[in-house]
Amino acid sequence: MALGSGGQFYDELETMTVEARREHLNQRLREAVDHAYRNAPAAREMLDRAGVRPADIRTVEDLERLPVTRKTDLIELQRRNPPYGGFLAIPAEDVERVFISPGPIYEPLHGGRIKWFARSFYAAGFRKGDIVVNTFTYHLSPAGLLFHEALRDCGATPVVTGTGNTDIQVQTMLDLRVTGFVGTPSFLMTLIRRAEEIGHDFRRDFAVRRAWFTGEPLSPSVRKTLEEDYHISTCQAYAVTEPGGALAYECPEKNGLHFMDDYVVEIVDHETGKQLGPGEIGEIVVTPLHNRAWGLIRFGTGDMSSYVTEPCPCGRTAYRLVGIMGRTGDAVKVRGMFVVTRQVEEAVSGVAGVSRFQVVVGREGQRDRMTVRVEPAGEGVDRDTLTSELNERVQSVCRVRVDRVEFLPAGSIPDGAPRVVDERKWD
């Protein structure tokens, strides 16, 4: 099947069986580790230090034996051993392009036109005939160029607008009858508001009907506004610059983000590096399989999430990432489970009668205790009902039982206080 030839799926990998995918990923992982070990001195050193031979890494599960490399490690390694920190795995003259992330981190790319990247845009509905403003930067970071090429691979025509220039973007969208937007949700909202400020009726005068987002979370309320008020179909992807691309993407079901098959994505306990199962929250760790120039193995993104294995009604078979719940720095481990600010907010936002709240993790003997402190919204709130609703919501969203709900007078929790506080003493 030709790539992006007009069917429901971009390519046949999207509908592989679970078994076929496991074999596909294991096979490519073995090749990637072997190639990195042979050609990238930093990868070789990392394996040697862990006492692991490339032949020991047969499956995704075997990756647990290797340490996680983080952004700060990469910056330091590149500073000591410029320019690529020993991760370059092909001759320097064969590097097709170099991207630069804050740090700086220099990221060599081999194979500039990566066809599979388009899966994410294809799933969002981009096709031949679409004219799309690509409002990501074309400088330094991979975003602008990679998204541009992916739009082309779906047959769409990108307009090279890049970031900023609100008025020019609005005029361009009008003049070219632009049908698609690629950027952040907040920037699309800015463009719509600007168009309305200068007297346009956005729905009547503009032709934008689909949007693809990454770079910031898409809140349910913004999504609702865009979809219902402006009839713009929205899809988001999870992209990370260092490993070079979108690791997961939404399908028309908009219920979780399917893993991209050109990476091995693990969810791990960021303190131990051990892999976690479906539904457990941990750090997203990624090994790119598509870029022979870059011998990066187990890159720790610092983002926390979990994944689900239930089949998706869209027909894509890759497991799905459940949004991004926060950063490793915000995560607090309670009785072996990570609890993250965003997740707690999600849990409590579903309970009526809460004005302010704070989750406090302490210890009683050898046991962690989780307390939810609540300022009720007024005198009329039934405390027993509120307590049982909080218990139920937090348990279902965070998978950790609440030990106690404590009611505080209004004004006890200051503005800007952290949502999750760890009061345990570590010595």
Look up residue 124 and give its DSSP letter: T
Residues 377-406 that bind Zn ion (CB under 5 A): none
DSSP three-state, residue 220: helix
For residues 222 and 213, what is the distance between their CA atoms, to the nearest angstrom? 12
Amino acid at residue number 127: R
With the CA atoms of 50, 51, 57 and 60 taken in that order, what torsion angle do they form, in degrees rounded to the nearest 10?
Answer: -30
Q: Which tokens go with 63? A: 């990756």
CB of 314 to Zn ion, least distance (A): 3
Residues 65 and 276: beta-carbon distance below 8 Å: no
C-alpha distance across the termini of the chain, in Å: 59
The least distance separating Zn ion from the CB of residue 235, rounded to whole angstroms, comes to 11
Nearer to Zn ion, 14 or 269 (CB): 14
Residue whose CB is less far from Zn ion, 43 or 314: 314
Q: In which element (H, E) is residue 393 found?
A: helix 383-398
**Site track 207-246 with Zn ion (rule: CB under 5 A), x = hit:** ----------------------------------------
Per-residue burial over 172-186, b if 16 or more Cβ lie within 10 Å, else e, is: ebeeeebbbbbbbbe
Contact window for Zn ion (CB under 5 A) among 21-29, 146-154, 160-168, 247-255: 247-255
Cα four-point dihedral sign 67, 70, 76, 82: positive
* 308 sits near Zn ion (criterion: CB under 5 A): no
Shortest distance (Å) from residue 243 CB to Zn ion: 22
- Rounded CA-CA distance 43/25 in Å is 19
Q: With CB under 5 A as the contact rule, which of the stretches 3-11, 263-271, 304-312, 390-398 interacts with Zn ion?
A: 304-312
Q: Of the candidates 68, 132, 251, 332, which one interacts with Zn ion according to CB under 5 A?
A: 251
Dihedral of CA 221/225/226/231: which sign? positive
Task: Tell me the closest approach of the beta carbon of residue 85 to Zn ion, in angstroms.
Answer: 37
Residue 120 CB, shortest distance to Zn ion, in Å, is 12
* 281 lines the binding site for Zn ion (CB under 5 A): no
Residue 347 Cβ vs Zn ion, minimum distance, rounded to whole Å: 25
Among the listed residues 62, 64, 227, 253, the single contact to Zn ion using CB under 5 A: 253
- Of 33 and 314, nearer to Zn ion (C-beta) is 314
70 part of the interface to Zn ion, by CB under 5 A:
no
* Shortest distance, position 237 Cβ to Zn ion, whole Å: 13
Nearest approach in angstroms of CB 320 to Zn ion is 7
Stretch that binds Zn ion, among 82-90, 248-256, 279-287, 347-355 (CB under 5 A): 248-256
Is position 124 an interface residue for Zn ion (rule: CB under 5 A)? no
Residues 312-331 that bind Zn ion (CB under 5 A): 312, 314, 316
At 46, list the tokens.
């990392």
Token pair in block for residue 263: 């990476």
Coil vs helix vs strand at 375: strand
- Please tell me what DSSP assigns to residue 275: B
Pick the closer one to Zn ion by CB: 253 or 280.
253
Binding site for Zn ion (CB under 5 A): 251, 253, 312, 314, 316
